[in-house]
Amino acid sequence: MEEETRTTEHGRGDVKVGIFTLSPRTFRITRTTDDISGMLGYAPEELASFTLSDIWPDETERERFVRSIGGRNAVADFPADLICRDGTLLPVAIAAASLSDTDITCIVSARHPGAWEFPGGEEYLQVFDSLIDAVIILDRDGDILFANTAVATLTGVSSPAELIGQNPLQFIHPDYKEAVVRNLANLCSGHGGRLIHYPMQDLHGNERWVEALGTKILFKGRDANLVVLRDITERKSVESELARTNQRFRDLYRLVRMMCDNVPD
């Protein structure tokens, strides 16, 4: 008898917001939070051995998703029906971003913004400390409700608790604050998923470049934004050096060309 595939209902009590990362070459799951594992009925280490096709059976939609996040592209609210261990289909929306030579970060949340609530208990929040990426949850005013250990490292504070209630704009380079404010406004209106780059300054004045990807969630009964930050300072440095090398090559080419043009016949 063919196994019946059922669809779970929105708003189910055990549904949460989760994060997982994918290898851009094999699309194998490399890291996962307990929340997304629990949503699908697997242990985290078990889910981390799967490929994307193992949890997303619709090949057409899966391939469209893969094409959408190629290169440096990001997607927001991409609809997907993920298959749970018990055979039920879990309707979700995925915000994802892909960069060269780095894992693809996927934030899995409600198909419709606000339909599911992130539980916000300490046992759930602690799983974010296993991520090397910085994770913050902001209220609608932009103040920090939660920050993991990676955020503390990025901002130069001794403990994530010091950041609660603060506005992260104090750590943003002045030239980029307006763009960050616009991006946060887009998140509040449910239009997340746009990958942005900007420099941050920690408490000691050190500058780090980050890329950010966010999505709208419910947190402890209130509208909030979940933002994942990745430190890309080293890559920015390499890109800058490559740009300088290319410019020196162009300058040398123009000089040689000018010299050749002035060689007498």
- CA angle at 181 for the pair 178 and 186, rounded to the nearest 5°: 130
- Which residue is it, tokens 């994942």? 228
- Which of 186, 150, 181, 158 has its CA nearest to residue 168? 181
Question: How many Å separate Cα 3 from the centre of its chain?
Answer: 35
| pLDDT of the residue at 261 | 67
**Cα–Cα dist 252/45, whole Å:** 54
Structure tokens at 133: 């990426």
Residue 241 makes CB contacts below 8 A (sequence gap 6+) with none
Structure tokens at 86: 């018990």
Instruction: Assign 61 to helix, strand or coil.
Output: helix
225: β partners: 138, 216
| pLDDT of the residue at 4 | 39
| pLDDT of the residue at 16 | 63
- Which residue is it, tokens 């290169």? 71
Structure tokens at 43: 């242990």
Give the E-state strand segments of 57-206 in sequence order. 74-83, 89-97, 104-110, 134-139, 144-147, 196-201
| pLDDT of the residue at 51 | 94
* pTM of the complete model: 0.58
| pLDDT of the residue at 10 | 39
| pLDDT of the residue at 138 | 92
Q: What are phi and psi of 194, to 5 degrees?
A: -95, 120
Length of the chain (residues)? 265
pLDDT along the chain (265 residues), means of 10: 40 60 90 87 90 94 86 73 92 79 79 53 68 88 92 93 94 91 82 78 91 83 86 78 69 65 64
Q: How many CB atoms lie within 10 A of CB 138?
A: 22
